[in-house]
């Protein structure tokens, strides 16, 4: 479970499932998929991310079979949308997370649709990818090493804040559900999330402050 | 309480927010360009992306899954039907996320008069979320004082509205917590065009009558 290295040179060896220092970063691979339609780069991204996306979906309560299917759909969308990926705007993990999250929303909607009225707008049309954001040049520098920076910032959070963020982002729980589960008032859950996000923002991107 | 709690962006970015409310937030991000809101959502996405990289122990994919995906790479996904702009009123179009939703529903708003030159249109209900509505309130007209059981998000698209706590101009996202009561009045000369979602709200004849009462 090695966080990604910062930008580095081209690969000299192929190691399925992991990307190590000295090999292209995930960002490089995603650019290769988007710009050169490289199937090799896609295969490497698949080997790294599909099992993580599957794990993420299972943590959020998706049954393993469906999680497998959705992880495949996520990677297919990665292929189709990779041309829109800009490494100056987001890290590969962040970009792929938003696609995986959208697949999870889509799956919940398909389930709801079986019970009655619904629509069939692809969720990616409704919820933007991070590329819709318009970062400043300073921000772009921070993005390139985002995993390191965010990991370090997360490690400084008080455990009670980190736990709530984890339940929200990873266990797919609404703030009300978290309040019930932790026997905390909803206002406390919200304020812990607010405090955690403020702290992270101060560390991740002070240049983004208005 | 009008200030948007940053935890709201957390819920939006995590994908756990009611879809009607989330569509109002998505619309806000698409029309306002508010750097503060974008930065909040951006922080949440980075956080989640980092969790994906560092906290998710890989779970082995089923055999043949890679081959199955590779076989599909050359098939293009279905284009979305909802790309065309949809008129809200005059030259104002619906924000893109709502237009995408409308596009799959025939793409036309059905306005109903609510009296005094004001009108409302119920938007298609998202599969996993609350109803949304578009409101066009005539200059200087009031909506009846109302209270909501669930969180209300309103995005002002043209003109402005005021209530006990302040005035909200086009491009503003306002948030009314459950249980709060407010008494909105549209701007004296420009009126107010807005879209709104209330968590848990289901439109009934009662609500329509409530809106038309003055």
Tell the residue number behind the tokens 């009126």, with chain if given.
Answer: B191
pLDDT, one tens digit per residue, over B117-135 is 899 898 887 777 788 899 9
Does A96 contact chain B (CB < 8 Å)?
yes
Which of B25, B53, B61, B101 best tests the A interface by mutation, with the highest count of A CBs <10 A? B53
Write out chain B residues lying below 8 Å of A49, CB-based: 52
Does A198 contact chain B (CB < 8 Å)?
yes
Both structure tokens of A22: 């000295």
Instruction: Report the largest interatomic distance among the alpha carbons of chain A, rounded to a whole angstrom.
Output: 53
- Can you give the pLDDT at residue A87? 87
Which of A165-169, B30-34, B51-55, B155-159 has the highest average model confidence (pLDDT)? B155-159
Contact B66/A43 with Cβ under 8 angstroms?
A: yes
Distance of residue B162 Cα from the nearest chain A Cα, in angstroms: 25
- Can you give the pLDDT at residue B207? 56
Q: Name which of B23, B47, B78 is nearest A150 (Cβ-Cβ).
A: B47
Q: Name which of B16, B29, B101 is nearest A174 (Cβ-Cβ).
A: B16
Q: Name which of B39, B49, B77 is nearest A94 (Cβ-Cβ).
A: B49
- For the four alpha carbons of B33, A83, A57 and B56, in that order, the dihedral sign comes to negative
**Residue B51's closest CA among A44, A159, A162?**
A162
Distance of residue B108 Cα from the nearest chain A Cα, in angstroms: 15
Kind plus residue range of the DSSP H or E element containing A43: helix A39-59
Does A58 contact chain B (CB < 8 Å)?
yes
Which of A34, A79, A94 best tests the B interface by mutation, with the highest count of B CBs <10 A? A94
More confident position, A151 or A207? A151
More confident position, B19 or A179? A179
- Taking CB atoms and an 8 Å limit, are A76 and B23 in contact across chains? no
Distance of residue B71 Cα from the nearest chain A Cα, in angstroms: 10
Contact B192/B159 with Cβ under 8 angstroms?
A: yes
pTM for the structure as a whole: 0.81
- Taking CB atoms and an 8 Å limit, are A50 and B61 in contact across chains? yes
pLDDT over 90 at A45, yes or no: yes
HSE, side-chain direction, 13 A CA sphere, residue A98? 28
Does A72 contact chain B (CB < 8 Å)?
yes
Contact A62/A107 with Cβ under 8 angstroms?
A: yes
Percent helix, strand, coil in chain A, to 5, is 70, 0, 30
pLDDT over 70 at A8, yes or no: no
Task: Measure CA B98 to chain center.
Answer: 7
Mean pLDDT is lowest, of A58-67, A152-161, B80-89, for: B80-89
- Taking CB atoms and an 8 Å limit, are B56 and A90 in contact across chains? no
Percent helix, strand, coil in chain B, to 5, is 35, 25, 40
- Taking CB atoms and an 8 Å limit, are A52 and B41 in contact across chains? no
pLDDT over 50 at A1, yes or no: no
Does A131 contact chain B (CB < 8 Å)?
no
pLDDT over 90 at A206, yes or no: no
**Residue B43's closest CA among A46, A40, A146?**
A146
Distance CA A84, CA A99 (A): 13
**Beta strand pairing call for B111-115 and B146-147:** unpaired
Assign A51 a pLDDT band (cuts: 50, 70, 90). Answer: very high
- Can you give the pLDDT at residue B1? 45
**A29: helix, strand or coil:** helix
Distance of residue A146 Cα from the nearest chain B Cα, in angstroms: 7
**C-alpha angle A18-A52-A82 in degrees, rounded to nearest 5:** 80
Give whole-number Cα distances, B113 to A133, B87, B189, in Å: 37, 17, 19
Which of B69, B180, B203 best tests the A interface by mutation, with the highest count of A CBs <10 A? B69
Kind plus residue range of the DSSP H or E element containing B182: strand B181-182
């Amino acid at each position: 479970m090695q966080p990604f290295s910062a930008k580095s040179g081209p690969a000299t060896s192929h190691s399925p499932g992991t990307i190590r220092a000295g090999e292209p970063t995930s960002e490089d691979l995603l650019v290769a998929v988007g710009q050169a339609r490289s199937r090799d780069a896609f295969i490497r991204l698949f080997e790294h991310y599909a099992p993580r996306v599957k794990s993420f979906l299972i943590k959020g309560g998706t049954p393993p079979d469906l999680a497998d299917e959705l992880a495949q759909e996520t990677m297919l969308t990665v292929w189709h949308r990779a041309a829109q990926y800009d490494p100056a705007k987001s890290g590969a993990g962040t970009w792929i997370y938003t696609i995986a999250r959208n697949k999870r929303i889509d799956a919940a909607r398909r389930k709801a649709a079986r019970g009655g009225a619904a629509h069939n707008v692809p969720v990616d049309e409704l919820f933007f990818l991070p590329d819709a954001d318009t970062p400043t040049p300073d921000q772009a520098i921070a993005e390139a090493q985002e995993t390191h920076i965010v990991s370090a910032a997360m490690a400084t959070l008080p455990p009670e804040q980190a736990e709530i963020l984890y339940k929200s982002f990873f266990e797919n729980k609404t703030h009300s559900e978290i309040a019930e589960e932790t026997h905390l008032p909803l206002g406390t859950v919200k304020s812990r999330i607010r405090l955690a996000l403020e702290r992270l923002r101060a560390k991740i991107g002070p240049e983004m402050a208005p | 309480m009008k200030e948007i709690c940053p935890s709201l962006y957390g819920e939006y970015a995590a994908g756990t927010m009611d879809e009607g409310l989330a569509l109002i937030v998505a619309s806000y991000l698409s029309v306002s360009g508010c750097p503060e809101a974008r930065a909040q959502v951006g922080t949440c996405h980075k956080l989640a992306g980092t969790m994906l990289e560092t906290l998710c122990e890989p779970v082995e994919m089923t055999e043949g899954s890679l081959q199955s995906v590779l076989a599909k790479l050359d098939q293009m996904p279905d284009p979305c039907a909802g790309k065309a702009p949809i008129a809200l009123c005059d030259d104002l179009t619906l924000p893109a996320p709502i237009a995408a939703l409308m596009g799959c529903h025939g793409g036309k708003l059905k306005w109903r008069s609510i009296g005094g030159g004001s009108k409302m249109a119920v938007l298609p209900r998202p599969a996993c979320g609350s109803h949304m509505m578009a409101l066009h309130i005539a200059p200087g007209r009031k909506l009846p004082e109302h209270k909501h059981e669930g969180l209300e998000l309103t995005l002002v698209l043209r003109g402005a509205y005021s209530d006990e706590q302040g005035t909200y101009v086009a491009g503003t996202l306002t948030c009314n917590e459950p249980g709060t009561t407010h008494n909105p009045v549209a701007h004296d000369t420009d009126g107010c065009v807005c879209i709104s979602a209330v968590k848990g709200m289901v439109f009934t004849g009662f609500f329509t009558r409530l809106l038309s009462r003055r």
